[in-house]
Structure 1
Amino acid sequence: MKSQDIVVLLKLMSLEDDEKMRVQLPAGHSPPAGEDAYSVRGLEAALGISKTEISASINRSLSSGIAIKDRKTGRPKPNRRQLREFIVHGLKFVFPAKLGAMQRGLPTAFAAPVLRGSLHSAGSLISVWPYARGHEMGQSVEPLFKSVPEAAEKDERLYAYLALIDAVRLGNQREANLAANLLQERFG
């Protein structure tokens, strides 16, 4: 397994969640036509990960059982329960997060919009993914994949998932538990 596998799986979850929301919209509110977001090409455009690596990532996830093929569409989809278990109990050991130097970037973990204000800390430093177009200064955290900040800017739901994962990777037990509970709610 590679770190970008998690990013690809979370994007697939975000796409599934978008579809569920569209089903609840009134008639006439369909998305614009274009590239299939689930295609390797669509995922490449959304995530900034090459088509070859997207394909390899999906194959690794399917062979590990952390993703399955949808019976109706044949598209790969995350096994949400197993993915959550891996994120909560194994991700910080397989892909540990370390705080680095002060940099400009996109807020993550408890500085991200999904968690901002959830916990009060004594420190004033925030965690950011290094990103040239970012507007916040904070301690840098290497994202799961180099293109995460750009992908997060394009997809608010993906941004929330990735920030919650960073809170699990970076946080102490109380913070990690809060993020894990929020992941549980979002994973359904």
Structure 2
Amino acid sequence: MLLKPQDLLLALKLVALGSERWTYARLAKELGLSASEAHAGVQRCLRSSLLLENVAAYPADEATRAVLLSQDIYPVMQRRRRGPQANASGNPVRPHDRFLAEFVIHGARFVFVPDRTPMTVGVPTSHSAPAFAGVFAPGSNDYVWPHPNGQVRGLGIEPLHPNVPFAAIQDGKLYEMLALFDALRVGRARERGMAMDRLAAILDPHTPRPPKPAPKG
């Protein structure tokens, strides 16, 4: 079983949604996938431990169980859950904060290596994206996802998945994570360091981190 690019896109989308309720139809629509592709991607992420299953309580009322079963919903006995987000939303799965952060920050850039293209017009990414506004001055080495409706000219890099520009434009938080991930893939040392810090804070906010050393001088 191999993870596909859309699987990581799905996992990041679930991070962006947070405690919002979602359906596979919604995921498919907002990511430009089919519902079956969304479902298959979630299953691969579960097997890879990037996502965790939420377990709903088994309704005690016989009539309620009958209604659920008539809708092809199969309730199960409640199990002990861990973590502050454990099934708070009622969604079937949730991101595994620590494992997803470890994979995105330390492994995914070696798995999903981007192809680069000549100068083109597209949607800004990496340090050129809005997530880096005011941090790095725009320059000749701006990066973009090639896109016919883009308005920025720069060096083209292949997005994680062809639907990334479409999905990112609709969801600012997802856009930020995808651009930060691209900074890991193509950025210089300073940009990669910043992207690691910001992605860690977004993907795994509940894990304490050691304070940074004070600047010398």
TM-score, normalised to structure 1, is 0.84
**Which protein is richer in helix relative to its size?**
1
Q: 2 CA distance for matches of 1:58 and 1:83? A: 13
Matched, 1:88 2:88: no
Residue 74 of structure 1: CA displacement?
4.8
2:14 aligned partner: 12
Q: Structure 1 regions of 5+ residues with no counterpart? A: 20-36
Deviations 1:41-98 (A, max 9, x none): 1001100012121111000000111100124325211112111111111111100123
Q: 1 CA distance for matches of 2:169 and 2:192? A: 24
Moved segments of 4+, more than 6 Å: none
Counterpart AA for 1:142: E
Q: 1 CA distance for matches of 2:110 and 2:189? A: 14
In structure 1, which of residues 102, 106, 117 is the aligned counterpart of residue 119 of structure 2? Answer: 102
Matched, 1:152 2:168: yes
Contact 2:22 2:91 in 1 (8 A): no
Residue 99 of structure 1: CA displacement?
2.4
Matched, 1:58 2:35: no
Q: 2 CA distance for matches of 1:98 and 1:181? A: 25
In structure 2, which of residues 15, 22, 25 is the aligned counterpart of residue 41 of structure 1? Answer: 25
TM-score, normalised to structure 2, is 0.73
2:178 aligned partner: 162
After TM superposition, the structure 1 stretch with the greater mean CA deviation from structure 2, 58-67 or 68-77, is 68-77
Share of identical aligned residues, percent? 37
Contact 2:145 2:159 in 1 (8 A): yes
Q: Structure 2 regions of 5+ residues with no counterpart? A: 56-86, 206-217
Residue 127 of structure 1: CA displacement?
0.4
Counterpart AA for 1:155: D
2:135 aligned partner: 118
Structure showing greater radius of gyration is: 2
Deviations 1:140-163 (A, max 9, x none): 111111111011111111100100
